[in-house]
Structure 1
């Protein structure tokens, strides 16, 4: 009887502690049932647009190799390598590409200024093709990003600035590349900071809702910042552990007292 009573009190203590401190699970799309099938057309993809200081690869091909070489001769920019931080050398290096200047323009050999800011990759390709076609017959133009980047900070294993090969990535892939959410992250309160039309905006994203998949902010844009916010309980972990141990000690002492009283009354 005494043993059964001790077990009952211990079980009560465990249940009490578990009710006070819940374990948070990292789960995406909590609104979907396990047996459900979800599908929707992809209509929310927004092509990234070039911004100031972006570096762009432009390659022009024509029938004549000499003409092609001339039109591509400006695709080298001088830059300073290692000018700050550890490993600084101050040496000059060369990188391919054209930098969008403070007015939003790039300058190509022979045809001169082309406005790039606010254009997608396809729109810039069409603009360059129109200008070159005035002087060269049937040119083929290739345009690519050279420094497409985004940043992930906050409650994740791998905070930092990430460069992307290509220009298509969604926010789930971006978080996964950074090491996924920590257990202390608020998955339903991720802040996206985006530069758009000369303004900086902040948007709240819920990774636990399937509505994220149709959000206009689902796909990463140039210079996006994802802030994985911490849970309001994240900073309370040490205090919670102390409280938990104190409560357990109190319950254990109380259990011993109750068992002693019951034993005395049965004699």
Structure 2
């Protein structure tokens, strides 16, 4: 009887301890050689994609000569026509150009300029070379106006977010979504990125509990990336009411509690 009572108490203690087990991996980058990993982080820059909206401003010593190359100095009618998007459904701001599905922008005087896959610096250099027959020492400024990423799953404010900066890492992106929820799985964050080379979306996995994440080639995001944060297993089980294993777990828990009660009663 004494042994039965002891075993019953051990079983109850085990159930209590396992039920109160703390959630692991709550701290970002808790596993690290931090100094080494941060020193290896590299920002590779972004590449222009179709659908991007670019703001392009041309300047030169001769203010009059530069006017035809800036939409802000065109006639009102000309500017309105130029600012219509290729499908007519979206109007762009002054000096903005939307990259077509073919990868071009229609630049004043010059015409179509292929820029898909270029960096901003490469497009700047290309336009300055094209403008030299018309202008003396032309200077071009290129800015991406619609750096959007989508953040979904177990975050506090999911949705499509517009970044104020083009140098956006995964932690900055999550900050735009209000950070992860306490129940989020920090070890299995999915990054979905379209590959022009393979012509399809590719999914990568990021473990935010590892400091080596800052060394990942996917640490810095590209425009139109999607971050999916899955909930931890406890939340998945709680939310999935159609999971047949859930009812089995409840039945087993009830059986264990009943058996424990019976053993304690016998021991008295």
Query: 2: distance between equivalents of 1:95 and 1:243?
Result: 62
Query: 1:93-142: CA deviations, max 9, x gaps?
Result: 55231011121011111112211100111111111111011221101110
Structure 2 Cα separation of the partners of residues 40 and 66 of structure 1: 49
Q: How many residues align?
A: 242
Measured in 2, the distance between the counterparts of 1:214 and 1:28 equals 14
Q: Name the residue aligned to 2:224.
A: 223
Task: Tell me which residue corresponds to 2:28.
Answer: 28
**Cα separation, partners in 2 of 1:155 and 1:247, compared to 1, 3 Å:** farther
Take 1:37 and 1:71, find their aligned partners in 2: how far apart are those partners? 48
Aligned partners of 2:13 and 2:171: how far apart in 1? Answer: 37
* Shift, 1:43, TM fit: 5.0
Correspondence for 1:196: 195
**Matched residue, 1:107:** 106
| Residue 213 of structure 1: aligned partner | 214
* Number of the residue aligned with 1:163: 162
Partner residue in 1 for 2:52: 54
**Match for residue 180 of structure 1?**
179
Length-normalised TM-score, structure 2 = 0.77
Q: TM-score, normalised by structure 1?
A: 0.77
Q: Distance in 1 between matches of 2:106 and 2:20?
A: 61
1:257 matched to 2:265: yes
CA drift of 1:185 comes to 2.2
Does the CA-based 8 Å contact 1:145-1:166 persist in structure 2? no
Shift of 1:38: 4.7
| Larger fraction in helix | 2
Distance 2:134 2:93 in 1: 27
What is the aligned partner in structure 1 of residue 131 from structure 2? 132
CA contact (8 A) 1:79 1:95 kept: no
Residues 15, 159 of structure 1: alpha-carbon distance in 2 compared, 3 angstrom cutoff: same
